[in-house]
A and B are shown apart, each in its own frame.
Chain A
Amino acid sequence: MRIEVNGDMHEVTGATLADALDQLGWGKAKVATALNGEFVPASARAEQVLRDGDRLEVLAPMQGG
């Protein structure tokens, strides 16, 4: 299925958010996720089912003021 990840379209094969993160190389990274604008806690990623066209944000620590 194709989902949008941080603004770019990606083809993912897994069924869940946890699968997609593994596939994208962020399985063990310190990141936070939001699906279609809603926060998904790390503890819920394995149960979070993805659908074609979903919009995923993967955020990481960054410089800030």
Chain B
Amino acid sequence: MRDFYGVTLDSPLMLGTAQYPSPAVMAAAFRASGASVATVSLRRETGGGQAFWQMIKGLGVHVLPNTAGCYSAREAITTARMAREVFETNWIKLEVIGHADTLQPDPFGTLEAAETLSAEGFEVFPYMTEDQVLAQRLVDAGCRVLMPWGAPIGSGLGLNNRYGLRTLRAAFPDIPMVVDAGIGLPSHAADAIEMGFDAVLLNTAVAQASDPVAMAEGFGLAVRGGALAQRAGPMAPRDMAVPSTPVIGKAWL
């Protein structure tokens, strides 16, 4: 598995920590999924932050702070600086949102923030669309990981533009890539990994399932299957049928 800024992950599953029925269910979901990364945020301290941080540390996974909810490069940069101090990591999931309905990333603000943060030594995981030109600009800005969306955050629609994702994957063979957002089912996650993506990041699909722990286990198994399939070299699809049972030796009846 490719490394993310020098860190090799045990599992290609990155899991969010929000929207679970309880902290205990969240912890159980992490254990069941085998996820290697937990995404977290920074919000105004209202009393729960300290206990939450202890719980996250107890999961024993890598922590990826986000800049969720930021609508400008300036906000995202300040949030990233604050996150680096609190979470003691250079990793930052850079989100600069451009539209309130689709939560589509603002490519211009994302690039601006990525340039500043990379120059300050941050290891940026930019949440982006599958746009190849933007991808190149982000790589030029210093990003060594890209995080194209599958579909809008929280939509569960899966891989909305498989063509775009496939060509993006092919265009940057040496850049680790995570499909982030829009994944609703384990089959979506397996699909992304089979396509050659190095990881998937999801939250709502597990946290809002009727049984989050069972769904988490399902995702863990799916990404494992996808990774095995990707390494094994899938067959090429074709339009016409080809018999799998030998024709030679068939009885003349």
Residues of A within 8 A of B (CB): 6-7, 26, 29-34, 37-39, 41-42, 57-65
Q: A29-B45, A30-B50, A57-B44 are in contact. Are A64 and B39 (CB under 8 A)?
A: yes
Q: Are B17 and A59 in contact (CB under 8 A)?
A: no
Q: A29-B50, A38-B78 are in contact. Are A63 and B86 (CB under 8 A)?
A: no
Q: Are A64 and B16 in contact (CB under 8 A)?
A: yes
**Inter-chain contacts of B39 with A (CB < 8 A):** 64-65
B25 CB to nearest A CB, Å: 12
Q: Are A65 and B16 in contact (CB under 8 A)?
A: yes
Indicate if B40 sits at the interface (CB-CB under 8 A): yes
Residues of chain B in range 141-175 having any CB-CB distance to chain A below 8 Å: 153
**Inter-chain contacts of A60 with B (CB < 8 A):** 42-45, 48-50, 52-53, 86
Residues of chain B in range 72-117 having any CB-CB distance to chain A below 8 Å: 74, 78, 81-83, 85-87
Q: Which residue of A lies closest to B203 (CB)?
A: A65
In terms of DSSP, what is the predominant structure of the interface of chain B?
Answer: mixed
Q: Are A30 and B53 in contact (CB under 8 A)?
A: yes
Residues of B within 8 A of A (CB): 16-20, 39-45, 48-50, 52-53, 56, 65-66, 68, 74, 78, 81-83, 85-87, 153, 203-204
Q: Are B16 and A30 in contact (CB under 8 A)?
A: no
Of the candidates A6, A32, A64, A65, the one whose C-beta lies within 8 Å of that of B204 is A65
Q: Which residue of A lies closest to B57 (CB)?
A: A61
Task: Known pairs A59-B42, A64-B18; list 9 more (Cβ under 8 Å).
Answer: A6-B44, A30-B53, A33-B82, A58-B45, A61-B86, A62-B40, A62-B42, A63-B18, A64-B40
**Inter-chain contacts of B81 with A (CB < 8 A):** 39
A7 CB to nearest B CB, Å: 7
Q: Which residue of B lies closest to A32 (CB)?
A: B82
Q: A33 vs B68: C-alpha distance in the bound complex, in angstroms?
A: 17
Q: Which residue of B lies closest to A29 (CB)?
A: B50
Q: Are A63 and B40 in contact (CB under 8 A)?
A: yes
Q: A39 vs B68: C-alpha distance in the bound complex, in angstroms?
A: 17
A-B contact pairs, 11 of them (CB 8 A): A31-B49, A31-B86, A32-B83, A33-B82, A39-B78, A39-B81, A60-B86, A61-B56, A62-B41, A65-B19, A65-B39
